Amino acid sequence: MSTSEPAVAATSPRPKLSGAGLIYALAAYVLWGVLPIYFVALAPANAFEIVAWRIVFSLVFCAVLLTVTRGWRPFFAIARQPRLLFIMALAGVLIYINWQTFVLAAVSGHVVEGALGYFINPIVTVLLGVLVLRERLRPAQWVAIAISAIAVIVLAVGYGSVPWIALILALSFGFYGLIKKRVGPSVDSVSGLTLETVWLTPVAVAQILVVSSTVGLTFGTVGTWHTVAMLSAGVVTAVPLLLFASAARRLPLTVMGFVQYLAPIMQLAFGVAIMHEPMPPERWFGFALVWLALGILTLDMVIAGRSSRRASARTA
């Protein structure tokens, strides 16, 4: 979801539903939903090599986009602001944690737990609004958070340990989304991803060197299709983000809230049906609690949105 894995953007929603916006949103979340398949298909490359090349080729793709769209001038205007540079470096650290954790989960047989992370993410986003932005929650939102906390306890029992992968994914992307919300008016999506990957490029180079000197690199040595798939990492990363950004400008936040669940549902289905990851009853119960919390949260969001529109209509 990211700039790679799915979450609802904090944008000013348009009141009317856009057909093009819905297509963009569905395309973005379907692409994010099949990411585990893509990463598994990159075997025998390990997670650290995959993420390293993903960073490098994302930077290359962003540079091409900035050239084609003539976006270098606004990019350098952003890059000359130390505050924004520091914030984007922090965003880069968070998205690196998210990318590395997600790819590790995909290639090590923990796709289901990765999907759980993105089911939990909306709850984390709401909780961060309280803790960091000092927002006030409605009673239904507190109920959703409480149910989610119970779900994590149930899942911890089911997994035999705390579901760290899910929590790291949810927290890293939650804080990443918070940062993007704060700089959203000042940094466009392509420039932001470019700056993040610029900061991460030294990390990527270090990972490539370490992998090369230990287990050996697979890039360019396995076969033509494997090389092409690895080269596509930049496109796979950037295209869903651009589709998401286009959708967020055209759709109400409530619609984006519904569509965002498509990606983790697809990932869950892939993990259970294709990867045959275990799903004992206690895990299904834990997931059911998470879905109950998300249902309450989404219903509350819809009701609040309707009330807000009615109030606006009365005062107009």
For 278, what's the count of Cα atoms within 13 Å in the CB-facing half-sphere? 7
Give the C-alpha separation, 184 to 12, whole Å. 11
Please check whether residue 13 is in contact with residue 249, taking contact to mean a CB–CB distance below 8 angstroms. no
pLDDT score, position 3: 46
What is the pLDDT at residue 68?
Answer: 93
Distance CA(285)–CA(268), nearest Å, equals: 14
Per DSSP, 69 falls in state T
* 284 sits in which H/E element: helix 281-315
Q: Report pLDDT for 18.
A: 65
DSSP-assigned letter for residue 251: S
The predicted structure's pLDDT at residue 36:
93
Q: Cα dihedral sign for 281, 164, 290, 255?
A: negative
Question: How many CB atoms neighbour CB 228 within 10 A?
Answer: 9
Q: How far apart are CA 188 and CA 79, in angstroms?
A: 12
Question: Where along the chain do its domains lie?
Answer: 19-311
pLDDT for the residue numbered 11 = 40
pLDDT at 228: 94
Both structure tokens of 212: 């090369």
d(CA 267, CA 33): 6
| Residue 89, CB-side half-sphere exposure with 13 Å CA sphere | 10
- Which pLDDT score, from 0 to 100, does residue 232 have? 93
Bond prior to 264 in cis (omega within 30° of 0): no
Contact indicator for 144, 298 with CB cutoff of 8 Å: no
| pLDDT digits (tens), the chain, 316 positions | 544 444 444 444 444 556 788 888 899 889 999 999 999 999 999 999 999 999 999 999 999 999 998 999 999 999 999 999 999 999 999 999 999 999 999 999 999 999 989 888 888 888 887 788 777 778 888 888 889 889 888 888 877 788 899 999 999 988 988 888 788 778 888 888 899 999 999 999 999 999 999 999 999 898 899 999 999 998 998 888 888 877 877 776 666 667 788 889 999 999 999 999 988 888 899 889 989 988 888 888 778 767 766 766 666 5
Here the tokens at position 109 are: 């047989």
The model carries a pTM of 0.84
In angstroms, the CA 19 to CA 29 distance is 16
CA atoms within 13 A on the CB side of 6: 33
Cβ contact 77:24 at 8 Å: no
Q: Other CB atoms closer than 10 Å to residue 207's CB: what's the count?
A: 22
Tokens of 75: 């990019």
Assigned token pair, 222: 């396995």
Rounded distance between C-alpha atoms, residue 73 and residue 22, angstroms: 31
**Of 36, 44, 26, nearest in space to 273 by CA:** 36
